[in-house]
A and B are shown apart, each in its own frame.
Chain A
Amino acid sequence: MRRALWLLAGWAVAAAATPVVDYPPVRPGVAVALPADAGAHPDFRTEWWYVTGWLAGPDGGPLGFQVTFFRTRATLRRDNPSAFASDQVLIAHVAVSDPARGRLWHDQRVARAGFGLADAAMGRTDVHLRDWSLSTRDGRLQARIAAEDFGLTLTLEPRQAPLYNGRDGYSQKGPAAGSASYYYSLPGLAVHGQVRRGAQVLAVTGSAWLDHEWSSSPLDEASVGWDWVGLNLDDGGALMAFRIRDREGHVRWAGGTWRAADGRVQVLAPAEVAFTAGRRWRSPRTGIGYPVQWHLAAGPLSLTLTPLMDDQESDSRQSTGAVYWEGAIEAQADGRRFGRGYLELTGYGDRLKFR
């Protein structure tokens, strides 16, 4: 979804007849500084807080979940005194992958900031759309989501240091100098809380991963697809890897960050990351085929990625127009479990229809 939105970011410029907004650029050498940068950066075009993870209930059955808050700044002048006139648009997306029931629970919300109904605070992670929120309390993150037929109330406790992707959080996203974002992750979050499915409430524990990323520079026109993976490694390490594809499916850019169990961080160059697609699954709803089985070579690591379940496709054509696959995966090395995390596959269907 994040990549989908970033791909979407192009529409704002394309549609605006008279660009009246100067978005701040993403510059190398400007380091991400926590905790101040944990909050919103409303001048930038796009920003997200992205939590993914694995949960297990008392019965032991695994669940995947993702809770996402997006912020985007519309190309509006800021001189309208109306309380509705905020240029900050917030989008929330939440999904729970439930292999025992063979289904994906998901829901989404969109709103303009304002009236205390939707807001992304500056200076700390505190973003909400009505009663959906991701906030900071006592150094812990709290996610509260009450969707129509399911809900999440989770406490996320950091156990590891933040992982600054790229160079001190400056993450290159393409060959051009401006194609970049500020990007840090909080891997290895310890999770406890409750998951509601229908009327059933389940106490859960697990581990999760938070991405916080903001930028004004969209991907260039040639970039149409994006594969991303974030893994909490069983040995206490963390791995993030992504690649960006062009229209022909060739790799246009790639990158990643590996932190070994001993804390040593290795920033992966494009040449050090290789995604190789394996088994494909075709969505019965949209007819789009996604490679759900992967081989990933990232730095010294050589991993096989297997999905928690095949059908983790998200259809958000009603709000953003994007269809993508995003789901829980398990990583194996040499036939043994090596870690767990989330995989996102974007740009396998039609080119986004809002164009």
Chain B
Amino acid sequence: MRPVGSAAPSLAVFGAQLRDRPLRLFVSIAAIAVGIALAAAVYLINESALAEFGRATRELSGTADLAVRGTKAGFDESLYPQLATRAGVRVASPVLAREAALVGGGTLSIEGVDPLVAAQLRPELYGDLAGRYVTLLEPDALVLSAAAARELQLAQGGTLALRVGVGERTLRVVAVLPEGATTRRVGLMDIASLQWLTGSLGRLTRIDLRLAPGVDASRYAASLVLPAGVDAMTPALEQTRAANLTRAYRVNLDMLALVALLTGAFLVYATQALAVMRRRRQLALLRALGVRRIELRLAVLLEGAAVGAAGGLAGTVLGWLIARLVLSLQGADLGAGLLQVQTTQVATPPFALAAFIATGVVVAVAGAWLPARRAAEVAPARALKAGDDDAPARVHERVALALGLLLSGAALAFVPPVRGLPLGGYASIAALLAGGVLLVPAFVAATLAHLPSPRAPLAALVLARLRLSIGQSAVSLGAIVVSFSLMVAMAIMVHSFRDSFERWLGAVLPADLYLRVTPGADTFELTPAEATLLAAVPGVARLELRRTLQLSLARDLPPVVLIARPLEAGAGNLPIIARATVLEPTLPVAYVSEALHDLYGVPLGGSVELPVAGRKVRFAVAGIWRDYARSTGSVIVDLASWEQLSGERRNTEASVWLGARATAQSVGEAISARLHAGDALQVIESGALKDRALAAFDRAFAITYALEAVAVGIGLLSVVLAFAVQALARRAEFGMLRHLGLRRAQVLAMLAGEGAFMGAVGVAYGLLLGLVLSLVLVYVVNRQSFHWTLDYVVPLGQLLAVALTLVAAAALTAGLAGRVATSGSVVRAVREDW
């Protein structure tokens, strides 16, 4: 076998495409490239973020083997001497991490350490500070990382004012770490000073452990008996946890990239399929000259592979550049703020990059598979006969396969998540999409068959032509069907999400004013005294206090949020979606979010153990509530029971209902003035809060909209190109029609009609398919990745507007293609052999 060698003449025929149809080839490559670029960019941004996350962790904890970690609120410092003296521990470095609100806005992460101990884990970082230990121990001394110093425009000797409780404290910058020490924007303080400064006496958030040589870190971690809510984690486990945090978001972006890739595959398919059709005679000639079937097939596949390789390479490079741009513009958190790290360094994992290029090739070869088979099946004798250039499409042969795919797609939608990922949902979408597209020719044929034959000769011509060329029409429709149906599905999901989110906001924000500690600032809490002050502010009709804190319920899952707030009987003030009928009567009640219910398998009517002040306390699960704000899980308990159980009387948020004649602004100002909290405490009107939440929502989905536009653009482009190619191929036909006495405008109208019809069929079909896909997205993919339900809402007007635009665009571009095709000499056209 010398298939490749003797595929040369067939390659030459296809290679001619390069000269012949550079634009078509370019679009195929571009489609693959866009898909790969998006996938690669999402992947690289996230990899960089995770790498940076890992680096930041390592930089500050140095050579620690284990990190014993609680949540933001921390744990009791008595754990520190226990661990420090435990056999197997060489160094135990206590850490208190706090976000401090800065006077004048913004926050700064400050890590309180015992420099004498921390230096043993990170000698190269503290080596520079040796001899200044005592300086660092002083209560107002702060060391800044280079990044923090740059951003705050501070140097050694400068001062920084912090908002502490209702007062201010000024810190002295006693040193700035060298640039290479850490890329984080962080300050270092003596742990004693930070505990005192932030009112966190007795609290730690982390203990970094270096173990004795030969001690296995993960086994040692498992052997530790820690208070409830505190976990020992190896750096690898911390990475996993961070990766888990962004996984659902990332997978959804990857899914969007997949849309572009699939569109690209169909574009390759369409290009190659048309090329094969157009070149039937050349192919037949090659066969007549002695080229074997397998060689023809290989030639088509090779061309597909070349397109894929070019697209894959271009896409990978483009993706890397996009990643760098995004990282330099907005940091590494993919716009979702999930990982709070900053990096401008793009990870460049060689295997992953190679895999992206390979993906391009695989996708393109898959696209070229059927055309390659068709090329090999060309019957030389028939194809060489004049007039047989437009073989009637075999419409019905794949209907069985298509129906099989659709059925399995429906079945796959019921597969439970695999390792927390909705793989079944994605497989379902892929199967439905493939089946749907395979069914396009049959659908078009059925539609055409059921259309009455029109009286107008032009319309009759259009219909007759369409009926005959179903094969070609279906091919060019594939790409628009794929991209439009996915767009419809995404649009429905996002719209349903937004709609549900908006209604949910209304349910969770019933008050007029909200007071909360500046997000990220741990240096402020509402004391009972301050709460009393607040309630006495004129215009405040009702005040509801609330405390939120983080809990860690499992070592490998991100922390969940506990909200302690006054619960009315039956929790009528919550967006509850399911209630338990029977409860253990002696337990305090808790309402878990859907995510908590899913992720931790907490049963409705059962109980959940929550760490309260280092102990485990069982709560009865009285209901499941919908929480769109915290995809990692949340739980609501009654504030009074919480205070009783934990002994804590401090709150982080308050809702205020206004009296009859009070205005939000005046009461807000009165509250700010009364508390002297400055910008550590935010007073927000509920309307503004809702607007802000929705704006954040839209920002997070901006990338979704952009990707949708790209996918639909590519789909439309493929339709345009298919028209252009067909129009050019039909020049002689148009010439003849002009001889028969058709005006040029009539010929163009005919073409536009064809375009409009094809567009309408493709768009209608895409709409139908998209509705089906959206069900999978909303009820399977969304549910399994984010663990919350949505109310299914179809943005009909919006979709119809896009659909009409697409049909109009198809008609317009078909007409434009016709202008080109009919612009030459009519007579020369009829003399050309077609």
B130 touches A321 (CB 8 A): yes
A320 touches B130 (CB 8 A): yes
CB proximity to A under 8 Å, residues B75-93: 77, 80-81, 84-85, 90
Closest chain A CB from B640 CB (angstroms)? 30
Given A111-B117, A116-B81, check contact A84 B130 (CB 8 Å): no
One of B80, B127, B172 near A115 (C-beta < 8 A): B80
Closest chain A CB from B372 CB (angstroms)? 67
A74 at interface (Cβ–Cβ under 8 A)?
yes
Contact with B along A116-143 (1 / 0, CB 8 A): 1100000000000011000000000000
B81 touches A117 (CB 8 A): yes
Q: Which residue of B lies closest to A353 (CB)?
A: B131
One of A89, A115, A318 near B133 (C-beta < 8 A): A89
Contacting residues, chain B, for A111 (C-beta < 8 A): 114, 116-117
CB proximity to A under 8 Å, residues B561-607: none
Contact with B along A1-36 (1 / 0, CB 8 A): 000000010011001110000000000000000000
B131 touches A74 (CB 8 A): no
Given A84-B114, A110-B116, A112-B114, check contact A74 B84 (CB 8 Å): no
Contacting residues, chain A, for B94 (C-beta < 8 A): 84
Spot the interface stretch: B190-198, B397-405, B608-616.
B190-198
Cα distance, A43 to B376, chains bound together (Å): 96
Cα distance, A318 to B195, chains bound together (Å): 27
Contact with A along B113-157 (1 / 0, CB 8 A): 010110110010001001111110111000000000000000000
Given A75-B138, A77-B139, A81-B196, check contact A354 B131 (CB 8 Å): yes
Given A11-B134, A76-B137, check contact A84 B195 (CB 8 Å): yes
B202 at interface (Cβ–Cβ under 8 A)?
yes
Contacting residues, chain A, for B85 (C-beta < 8 A): 117, 130-131
Contacting residues, chain A, for B191 (C-beta < 8 A): 82, 84
Contacting residues, chain A, for B139 (C-beta < 8 A): 76-77, 80
Cα distance, A8 to B133, chains bound together (Å): 12
Contacting residues, chain A, for B77 (C-beta < 8 A): 83-84, 115
Cα distance, A12 to B135, chains bound together (Å): 8
Cα distance, A24 to B317, chains bound together (Å): 69
B196 touches A82 (CB 8 A): yes
Cα distance, A74 to B202, chains bound together (Å): 22
A336 at interface (Cβ–Cβ under 8 A)?
no
A115 touches B81 (CB 8 A): yes
A101 at interface (Cβ–Cβ under 8 A)?
no
B196 touches A80 (CB 8 A): yes
A355 at interface (Cβ–Cβ under 8 A)?
yes
CB proximity to B under 8 Å, residues A145-188: 148
Cα distance, A151 to B190, chains bound together (Å): 32
One of A75, A81, A110, A319 near B134 (C-beta < 8 A): A75
Closest chain B CB from A306 CB (angstroms)? 34
Most buried by B among A76, A84, A317, A355: A84
A201 at interface (Cβ–Cβ under 8 A)?
no
Contact with A along B199-214 (1 / 0, CB 8 A): 0011000000000010
Given A16-B134, A130-B84, A354-B130, check contact A81 B201 (CB 8 Å): yes
Contacting residues, chain A, for B137 (C-beta < 8 A): 74, 76, 87, 112
A333 at interface (Cβ–Cβ under 8 A)?
no
B135 touches A16 (CB 8 A): yes
One of A17, A84, A117 near B192 (C-beta < 8 A): A84
Number of residue pairs across A and B with beta carbons under 8 Å? 95
A85 at interface (Cβ–Cβ under 8 A)?
yes
B130 touches A319 (CB 8 A): yes
**How many chain B residues have a CB neighbour from A under 8 Å?**
33
Q: Which residue of A lies closest to B126 (CB)?
A: A318
Closest chain A CB from B122 CB (angstroms)? 11
Contacting residues, chain A, for B114 (C-beta < 8 A): 84, 111-112
One of A87, A117, A321 near B84 (C-beta < 8 A): A117
Cα distance, A252 to B600, chains bound together (Å): 74
Contacting residues, chain B, for A318 (C-beta < 8 A): 119, 123, 127, 130
Q: Which residue of A lies closest to B77 (CB)?
A: A83
B131 touches A11 (CB 8 A): yes
Closest chain A CB from B189 CB (angstroms)? 11
Cα distance, A190 to B785, chains bound together (Å): 72
Contacting residues, chain B, for A130 (C-beta < 8 A): 84-85
Cα distance, A11 to B135, chains bound together (Å): 10
Closest chain B CB from A317 CB (angstroms)? 8
Contacting residues, chain B, for A89 (C-beta < 8 A): 116, 133-134
CB proximity to B under 8 Å, residues A57-94: 74-77, 80-87, 89
Closest chain A CB from B160 CB (angstroms)? 15
Closest chain A CB from B591 CB (angstroms)? 37
Given A84-B190, A85-B196, check contact A15 B135 (CB 8 Å): yes
Contact with A along B89-115 (1 / 0, CB 8 A): 010001000000000000000000010
Contacting residues, chain B, for A354 (C-beta < 8 A): 130-132
Most buried by A among B84, B132, B137, B172: B137
Contacting residues, chain B, for A12 (C-beta < 8 A): 134
Cα distance, A25 to B114, chains bound together (Å): 29
Contacting residues, chain B, for A117 (C-beta < 8 A): 81, 84-85
Q: Which residue of B lies closest to A90 (CB)?
A: B116
Contacting residues, chain B, for A110 (C-beta < 8 A): 116-117, 119-120
Cα distance, A181 to B120, chains bound together (Å): 31
Most buried by B among A82, A83, A86, A112: A82
CB proximity to B under 8 Å, residues A331-355: 353-355
Cα distance, A199 to B172, chains bound together (Å): 49
Contacting residues, chain B, for A355 (C-beta < 8 A): 131
Q: Which residue of A lies closest to B195 (CB)?
A: A82
Closest chain B CB from A32 CB (angstroms)? 27
Given A84-B94, A84-B114, A130-B84, check contact A16 B138 (CB 8 Å): yes
Contact with B along A97-118 (1 / 0, CB 8 A): 0000000000000111001110
CB proximity to B under 8 Å, residues A37-72: none
Q: Which residue of A lies closest to B124 (CB)?
A: A318
Cα distance, A115 to B93, chains bound together (Å): 13
B138 touches A76 (CB 8 A): yes
Closest chain A CB from B98 CB (angstroms)? 13
Contacting residues, chain A, for B134 (C-beta < 8 A): 11-12, 15-16, 74-76, 89
Given A75-B138, A116-B81, check contact A85 B131 (CB 8 Å): no
Given A15-B135, A74-B137, check contact A112 B116 (CB 8 Å): yes
Cα distance, A318 to B133, chains bound together (Å): 12
Cα distance, A86 to B191, chains bound together (Å): 11
Q: Which residue of B lies closest to A87 (CB)?
A: B137
CB proximity to A under 8 Å, residues B161-217: 172, 190-193, 195-196, 201-202, 213
Closest chain B CB from A46 CB (angstroms)? 12
A83 touches B116 (CB 8 A): no
Cα distance, A319 to B137, chains bound together (Å): 15
Cα distance, A238 to B191, chains bound together (Å): 46
Closest chain B CB from A249 CB (angstroms)? 24
Q: Which residue of A lies closest to B191 (CB)?
A: A84
Cα distance, A131 to B87, chains bound together (Å): 10
B116 touches A85 (CB 8 A): no
Closest chain A CB from B137 CB (angstroms)? 5
Closest chain B CB from A188 CB (angstroms)? 35
Closest chain B CB from A96 CB (angstroms)? 20
Q: Which residue of A lies closest to B123 (CB)?
A: A318
Cα distance, A117 to B77, chains bound together (Å): 13
Contacting residues, chain A, for B81 (C-beta < 8 A): 115-117
12 pairs, A vs B, C-beta closer than 8 Å:
A11-B134, A15-B135, A16-B134, A16-B135, A81-B196, A82-B192, A82-B193, A87-B137, A112-B117, A115-B84, A317-B130, A353-B131
The 7 closest A-B pairs by CB, nearest first: A354-B131, A84-B192, A85-B192, A82-B192, A115-B81, A82-B195, A74-B134
15 new A-B pairs (CB below 8 Å) besides A11-B131, A355-B131?
A17-B135, A74-B134, A75-B134, A76-B138, A77-B139, A82-B193, A82-B196, A82-B201, A87-B137, A110-B119, A112-B117, A116-B81, A130-B85, A321-B130, A321-B131
